[in-house]
Structures are given as C-alpha cells and as structure tokens.
C-alpha cells in the first residue's frame, strides 16, 4: 500500500509501529510545508534567510506534530500539523531577528513597560548613555518582562509579542498569523495590560 492511499491516522499508527515510516508523512506534508514557507518568506527576506531554511524549520514543526499528536486534541492531524509547522517557522524567524533588531527590541520593551517613561526603569531604558548601571537596570527589566511573557501569555499572544519585538508591523503580524490588523492590535493591548498588571504599574 502506498502512503498516498493511507489516511493520516493510519500513517501515524504506522509511524508508531515503524520508526522509519516518518518519511511517508514528510512526503505527504511537504507541499504544505513549502507553501507555508513561501508565504512567510516575504516577511523575512531582510534577515538574509533562505527559503530552504524555512522549509527545514517546517519539517522540524511537522516532526513535533507527529511526536506529540493525540486524538484527544479534538482536532484533525492536518490542522494540528499546520499549526506546528507555522509556529516552528515563525519561531525561527523570531530567533533570526533578535540580534538584528536589538535597538528596536529596547524601544519595544520600553513601550511594554511604561509608555510615558514616568518611572525609573522607563527612564533608564530611554537613556542612550551606556554606563554599566543603566545597562544592568535595562537587562534586569527585560528579563522581568520576558519572565512575565513566558509565564502569563497564551501561545498565540507569545507569537504576537515575539513578532512585534522583532520589528514586524501589525499588518505583517496579522498576515503571518492569519488574523486581521484590529485583532492583532487588540491582542497587543491585552498583552500590555497583562504585563503592566504583573509589574504593578
């Protein structure tokens, strides 16, 4: 029997019995991975990434889907795999953008912490001088915000804020995540409120 004649659940069952059967699912889902990579590639050309890098990350996401899927997820494997592929590629884009957008990162952390820069931390981030004390305060503040993001945001909110921190515009984030701009704007406002609540400002 060819893999093309098997449904996803038969393939997954076959994979659990035969570790080398992953290749069948990879072949079946390769067109989806390539399509997802091409759709996201337009947003990361400026990072110097190659389309094949995104495809490789898509394969990583598919592998995670194969290893973690359960019928108790109450969704089809196709839907679950699509999300894992998309999430894996976006996470890769975010990692690439971190160093490239360090100055932007600083300004976004400032925006998340204190929009009017009225407290000491906000002022220290806004200060362009590079004395060790200000750098230490800045890094401690960023770590606090990152801890809040890790522990208090949903997976979707984490994707949104990571893309925002790495320089993507609302429209780009909306397109990448399949939402409209207003939805992303509302999501970012909700994230800011969660962060401020945890920081007690």
What CATH number does the domain located at 1-98 have?
A: 1.20.120.1810
Identify the pLDDT of residue 139: 62
Q: Where in the chain is the domain with CATH 1.10.10.10?
A: 101-201
Identify the pLDDT of residue 162: 83
What architecture (CATH level 2) is domain 101-201? Orthogonal Bundle (1.10)
> Residues of the chain whose pLDDT is less than 50?
1, 103-104, 114-137
CA distance 90 to 43: 10
Identify the pLDDT of residue 2: 56
Q: Where in the chain is the domain with CATH 1.20.120.1810?
A: 1-98
Identify the pLDDT of residue 25: 82
Contact 116, 192 (CB under 8 A): no
Q: Tell me if the pTM is above 0.75.
A: no
CA distance 72 to 117: 47
Identify the pLDDT of residue 107: 54
Identify the pLDDT of residue 42: 85
SS3 183: helix
Identify the pLDDT of residue 54: 93
- Burial track 14-30 (b if 16+ CB lie within 10 A, e otherwise): bbeeeeebbebbeebbe
Identify the pLDDT of residue 21: 60
CA distance 122 to 28: 50
90-131 pLDDT, tens per residue? 888 887 766 555 544 555 555 665 444 444 444 433 444 444
Identify the pLDDT of residue 105: 52
CA distance 128 to 106: 11
How crowded is residue 40: how many other Cβ atoms within 10 Å of its Cβ? 22
Identify the pLDDT of residue 143: 75
Query: How is residue 131 annotated by DSSP?
Result: -
């Amino acid at each position: 029997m060819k893999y093309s004649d098997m449904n996803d659940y038969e393939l997954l069952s076959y994979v659990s019995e035969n570790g080398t059967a992953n290749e069948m699912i990879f072949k079946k889902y390769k067109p989806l991975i390539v399509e997802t990579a091409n759709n996201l590639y337009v947003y990361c050309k400026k990072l110097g990434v190659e389309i094949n890098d995104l495809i490789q990350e898509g394969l990583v996401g598919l592998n995670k889907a194969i290893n973690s899927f359960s019928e108790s997820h109450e969704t089809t494997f196709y839907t679950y795999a699509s999300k894992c592929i998309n999430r894996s590629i976006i996470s890769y884009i975010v990692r690439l953008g971190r160093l490239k957008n360090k100055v932007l990162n600083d300004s976004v952390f400032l925006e998340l912490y204190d929009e009017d820069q009225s407290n000491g931390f906000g002022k220290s981030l806004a200060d362009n001088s590079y004395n060790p004390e200000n750098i230490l305060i800045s890094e401690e503040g960023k770590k606090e915000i990152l801890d809040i993001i890790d522990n208090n945001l949903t997976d979707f909110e984490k994707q949104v804020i990571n893309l925002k921190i790495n320089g993507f515009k609302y429209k780009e984030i909306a397109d990448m995540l399949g939402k409209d701009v207003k939805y992303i704007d509302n999501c970012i406002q909700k994230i800011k409120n969660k962060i401020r609540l945890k920081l007690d400002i």
